[in-house]
C-alpha cells in the first residue's frame, strides 16, 4: 500500500514535470489545455466541437481507438461549487453575463427567456439533473437499434445516474400528483412510463453533480486532447485550385475571452496525402451552436448566407429549420404567512406523465436570486406541433443566433396547453399541498379557471423547460448516420438533430446518443478495415 502510494506520487511528479502547461485536474484528461497554441496546426483522427451532453460521451468512446480533439468554448465545471453541489442547485443560472458566465442567456423572438450551457458538460452542468430514458416507442420512431440504445444507456447510468433521496417537499409533490389522479404509481424508475414516478438524478448521494465531463475518462483519456475556453468559428474545407471542395479538412477557432482576434486551425489526419480523411469533424455544439457553426461555414440556405456575405459551400435549405421548444407553464402555490417563505432549492425528482404521454408535470424549488427561492408546479407539452427557425444575427460565433420557436402557434398546441393548465391547477389546489403550505382553510372556496382564462394564461405566460431542439434535423440536414448531406467528413450528433424531444427530459437520451453513435462509428471503421 505504502509503496503504491509513493509510486503514485513519483508518477505524478514526472507527469507534472513533463507537461507543466497542461491544466491538471483529477477528473480531466491529461492533455487538457486552454492554450490555443498547443493545439494550433495539429492533426487528429476525430475533431469534436462542443464538450456538452452528447460531445463528452462521444469523445470518450472514439478515444478507445482514435486520437480525438474536443473543443469546448467554456471552462472546467469541477472548480465551480454552484455547478457541483446540490445545495446550490439553480444558482448557476441566476446570474448571467454576455461572454463568461457558465449559463448563457438568450431571449427567443417569442420573448421567452432561455438558457444554454457554456462550460464543459454543457447543459448537464447547469440543468435540473433529472435523468430519464426515452420511451421504447420513441426509440422505434427515430429508427435506433433497441439493443445498442439499451447498452449505451447502461454505460451512462453506471457512472452518471443515481437514485435520489426525496425531501419533504418531494413527498408532498408526489402525493399531489396522485391526488390529481395521475396513475399508476411507478415508484423509482429510469423508464418513461405513464403515471407518477421518481426519476434518477445526476447528483450522487453526497450531493455532487456528475456532468457529462465525468465520462471523458471512461474511454482512453490519453487519446483525448481537450481544448477549453476556445470557440470554434467555422469548418475548413479542402481546396482544389481556387475552388473550395466540400471535403472537410478541419476547424478554425479563437480564444473565447475575446482577448485576441487571431484565428487558429486544427486538422483531420489524412492518409497517404489523399484529401480524404477517414475520421470526421463532429459538431456537438447543441441546438443553437451546431446550426450556427454550419451557417458560419457556408452550409445553409443560400439567401440567408448572402445577407452576411458568407460564401456558400452547400446550399442546404433546412439548416436552422425545425426549431422547437416544448411550451411550459408554471403555477406558484400560495404559502400561508405563518410558514417560512424561503424553502431551500430542490431539484426535480418526481414527475407525472399524463394524458397518453402528452403532458409532463412536476415540481421544483428554484432560486430566483442568491437569497430567495420560488416553489413551482409546472408542466410541458411533450410533443408540440409548432416549430420555428434559427438565423444568424451576427457573424460572431460568441453571440447568440436569433431563434423563434412559435410557441402554441397551432390550435392543437393551444388546446393541449389549456388541458395542462387545468391539470396543474388541480395539483396546486390539492389537499396535500394546501396542508403542507398551511392554506387548507382557503382551498375549497376558490373556483377553477375557465377555458378562456387558461388560454390567456398559456398565451401570456408560456415559458420553457429548456428542452429546445432541432436546427439540424435528421432527414433534412443529417442522414441516419448523422452525416451532413452534401459534405464529406462532417457529422452532427446532439439535440439539434431531434425531430421531436424524447417526450421526457432529454439529457439522458443525449448522453446515450453520444455513446451510441460513438460505438456505431467504431464498428463502421472496423468493417472498413476488413474490406
Please identify which residue in 38, 270, 402, 426 interacts with ligand NAG, judged by CB under 6 A: 402
Among 467, 491, 515, 520, binds ligand FAD (CB under 6 A): 467
Give yes or no for residue 270 binding ligand NAG (CB under 6 A): no
With respect to ligand FAD, which residue has the nearer C-beta, 217 or 505? 505
Q: Which positions from 69 through 128 interact with ligand FAD, judged by CB under 6 A?
A: 71-74, 93, 115-118, 122-124, 126-128
Query: What is the per-residue DSSP string for 346-401?
Result: B---EEEEETTTTEEEEEEEEEEETTEEEEEEEEEESS----EEEE-S-S-TTSPP
Near ligand NAG in 28-47, by CB under 6 A: 34, 45
In the numeric block, which cell numbers belong to residue 122?
A: 454543457
C-alpha 228/C-alpha 397 separation (Å) is 15
At closest approach, how far in Å is the CB of 348 from ligand NAG?
24
Q: Is 119 annotated as a binding residue?
A: yes
Distance CA 131, CA 163 (A): 10
Enclosing H/E stretch for 323: strand 321-323
- The reply on whether position 92 binds ligand NAG by CB under 6 A is no
**Does residue 467 have an active-site annotation?**
yes
| Distant-in-sequence, close-in-space partners of 311: CB < 8 Å, separation ≥ 6 | 244, 298, 305
The annotation status of 438 as a binding-site residue, yes or no, is: no
Sole binder of ligand NAG in the list 32, 53, 61, 67 (CB under 6 A):
67
In angstroms, what is the minimal distance from the CB of 215 to ligand FAD? 12
User: Among 304, 467, 469, 531, which one carries the catalytic annotation?
Assistant: 467
Among 32, 86, 127, 229, binds ligand NAG (CB under 6 A): 229
| Nearer to ligand FAD among residue 61 and residue 231 (C-beta) | 231
Please tell me whether residue 303 adopts helix, strand or coil conformation: helix
DSSP string, 160-219: H-BPPPPPHHHHHHHHHHHHTT---EEEE-SS--SEEEE-EESB-TTSBB--GGGGGGGS
Q: Per CB under 6 A, does 371 bind ligand NAG?
A: yes
232 is in an annotated binding site: yes
Radius of gyration of the chain (CA): 24
Contacted entry of ligand FAD, ligand NAG, none for residue 223, CB cut-off 5 to 8 Å set by kind: ligand NAG
Instruction: Please say whether the beta carbons of 301 and 315 come within 8 A.
Output: yes
Give the integer Cα–Cα distance in Å for 286 and 505.
Answer: 15
Q: Comparing C-alpha atoms, which of 364, 406, 398, 360 is closest to residue 380?
A: 360
Q: Which is nearer to ligand FAD, 101 or 223 (CB)?
A: 101
- Cell 416544448 found at: 326
Site for ligand FAD in 169-228 (CB under 6 A): none
* CB-CB neighbours of 421 under 10 Å: 23
CA distance 291 to 235: 12
Query: In angstroms, rounded to a whole number, what is the distance separating the alpha carbons of residues 84 and 78?
Result: 7
With CB under 5 to 8 Å by kind, the binding choice for 221 among ligand NAG, ligand FAD, none is: none
Q: How far is the CB of 316 from ligand NAG (least distance, A)?
A: 15
Say whether residue 367 binds ligand FAD (CB under 6 A): no
Q: Which three cell numbers stand for residue 163?
A: 437514485
- Using the structure block, give the residue that is written with the C-alpha cell 473550395: 244
Pick one of ligand NAG, ligand FAD, none as the site partner of residue 86 (Cβ within 5 to 8 A by kind). none
Closer CB to ligand NAG, 153 or 407, in the complex: 407
Smallest separation, CB 76 to ligand FAD (Å): 11
Give how many residues touch ligand NAG by CB under 6 A: 25
- Asked if 472 and 496 count as a contact pair (C-beta separation under 8 A), the reply is yes
Q: Is the Cβ of residue 454 or residue 507 nearer to ligand FAD in the bound state?
A: 507
- Of 27, 220, 315, 476, the residue at the interface with ligand NAG (CB under 6 A) is 220
Dihedral sign, Cα of residue 40, residue 265, residue 280, residue 143? positive
Task: Say which residues have a Cβ less than 8 Å from residue 518's Cβ, sequence separation at least 6.
Answer: 57, 58, 60, 61, 62
Binding status of residue 445 toward ligand NAG by CB under 6 A: yes
Nine cell digits for residue 436: 403542507
Measured CA to CA, the distance from residue 24 to residue 274 in angstroms comes to: 37
Segment interacting with ligand NAG (CB under 6 A) among 88-96, 163-171, 417-425, 437-445 = 437-445
List the single partner that 201 binds among ligand NAG, ligand FAD, none, CB under 5 to 8 Å by kind: none
Q: Which stretch binds ligand NAG (CB under 6 A): 364-372, 407-415, 421-429, 506-514?
A: 364-372
Binding-site residue numbers are 119, 232, 495
Residues lying near ligand FAD in the complex (CB under 6 A) are found at: 49-55, 71-74, 93, 115-118, 122-124, 126-130, 231-232, 284-287, 289, 293, 348, 397, 466-467, 494-495, 505-508, 510
Active-site positions? 467
Residues lying near ligand NAG in the complex (CB under 6 A) are found at: 34, 45, 66-67, 75, 100, 109, 220, 223, 228-229, 244, 271-272, 311, 369-371, 393-394, 400, 402, 441-442, 445
Amino acid at each position: 500500500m505504502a509503496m503504491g502510494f509513493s509510486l503514485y506520487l513519483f508518477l505524478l511528479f514526472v507527469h507534472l514535470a513533463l507537461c507543466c502547461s497542461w491544466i491538471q485536474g483529477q477528473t480531466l484528461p491529461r492533455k487538457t489545455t486552454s492554450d490555443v497554441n498547443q493545439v494550433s496546426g495539429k492533426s487528429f483522427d476525430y475533431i469534436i466541437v462542443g464538450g456538452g451532453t452528447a460531445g463528452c460521451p462521444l469523445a470518450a468512446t472514439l478515444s478507445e481507438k482514435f486520437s480525438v480533439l474536443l473543443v469546448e468554448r467554456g471552462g472546467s465545471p469541477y472548480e465551480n461549487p454552484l455547478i457541483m453541489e446540490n445545495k446550490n442547485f439553480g444558482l448557476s443560472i441566476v446570474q448571467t453575463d454576455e461572454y463568461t458566465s457558465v449559463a448563457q442567456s438568450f431571449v427567443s423572438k417569442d420573448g421567452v427567456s432561455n438558457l444554454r450551457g457554456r462550460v464543459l458538460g454543457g447543459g448537464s452542468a447547469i440543468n435540473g439533473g433529472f435523468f430519464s430514458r426515452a420511451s421504447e416507442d420513441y426509440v422505434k420512431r427515430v429508427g435506433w437499434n433497441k439493443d445498442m440504445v439499451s447498452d449505451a444507456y447502461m454505460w451512462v447510468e453506471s457512472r452518471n445516474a443515481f437514485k435520489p433521496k426525496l425531501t419533504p417537499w418531494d413527498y408532498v409533490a408526489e402525493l399531489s400528483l396522485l391526488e390529481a389522479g395521475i396513475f399508476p404509481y411507478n415508484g423509482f424508475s429510469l423508464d418513461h412510463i405513464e403515471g407518477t414516478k421518481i426519476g434518477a438524478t445526476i447528483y450522487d448521494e453526497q450531493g455532487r453533480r456528475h456532468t457529462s465531463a465525468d465520462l471523458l475518462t471512461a474511454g482512453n483519456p490519453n487519446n483525448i486532447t481537450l481544448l477549453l475556453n476556445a470557440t470554434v468559428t467555422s469548418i475548413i474545407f479542402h481546396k482544389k485550385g481556387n475552388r473550395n471542395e466540400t471535403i472537410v479538412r478541419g476547424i478554425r477557432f479563437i480564444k473565447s475571452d475575446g482577448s485576441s482576434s487571431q484565428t487558429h486551425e486544427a486538422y483531420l489526419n489524412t492518409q497517404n496525402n489523399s484529401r480524404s480523411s477517414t475520421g470526421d469533424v463532429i459538431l456537438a455544439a447543441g441546438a443553437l451552436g451546431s446550426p450556427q457553426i454550419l451557417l458560419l461555414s457556408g452550409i445553409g440556405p443560400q439567401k440567408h448566407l448572402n445577407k452576411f456575405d458568407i460564401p456558400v459551400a452547400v446550399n442546404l435549405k433546412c439548416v436552422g429549420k425545425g426549431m422547437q421548444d416544448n411550451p411550459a407553464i408554471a403555477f406558484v402555490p400560495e404559502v400561508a404567512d405563518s410558514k417560512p417563505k424561503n424553502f431551500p432549492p430542490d431539484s426535480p425528482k418526481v414527475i407525472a406523465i399524463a394524458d397518453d404521454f402528452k403532458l409532463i408535470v412536476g415540481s421544483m424549488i428554484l432560486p430566483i436570486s442568491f437569497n430567495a427561492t420560488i416553489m413551482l408546479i409546472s408542466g410541458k407539452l411533450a410533443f408540440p406541433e409548432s416549430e420555428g427557425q434559427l438565423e444568424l444575427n451576427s457573424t460572431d460565433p460568441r453571440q447568440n443566433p436569433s431563434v423563434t420557436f412559435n410557441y402554441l402557434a397551432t390550435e392543437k398546441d393551444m388546446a393541449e396547453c389549456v388541458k395542462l393548465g387545468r391539470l396543474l391547477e388541480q395539483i396546486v389546489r390539492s389537499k396535500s399541498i394546501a396542508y403542507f403550505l398551511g392554506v387548507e382553510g382557503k382551498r375549497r372556496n376558490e373556483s377553477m379557471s375557465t377555458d378562456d382564462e387558461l388560454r390567456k394564461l398559456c398565451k401570456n405566460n408560456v415559458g420553457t423547460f429548456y428542452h429546445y431542439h432541432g436546427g439540424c434535423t435528421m432527414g433534412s440536414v443529417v442522414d441516419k448516420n448523422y452525416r451532413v448531406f452534401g459534405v464529406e467528413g462532417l457529422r452532427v450528433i446532439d439535440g439539434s438533430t431531434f425531430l421531436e424531444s424524447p417526450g421526457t427530459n432529454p439529457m439522458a437520451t443525449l448522453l446515450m446518443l453520444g455513446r451510441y453513435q460513438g460505438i456505431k462509428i467504431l464498428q463502421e471503421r472496423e468493417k472498413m478495415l476488413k474490406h
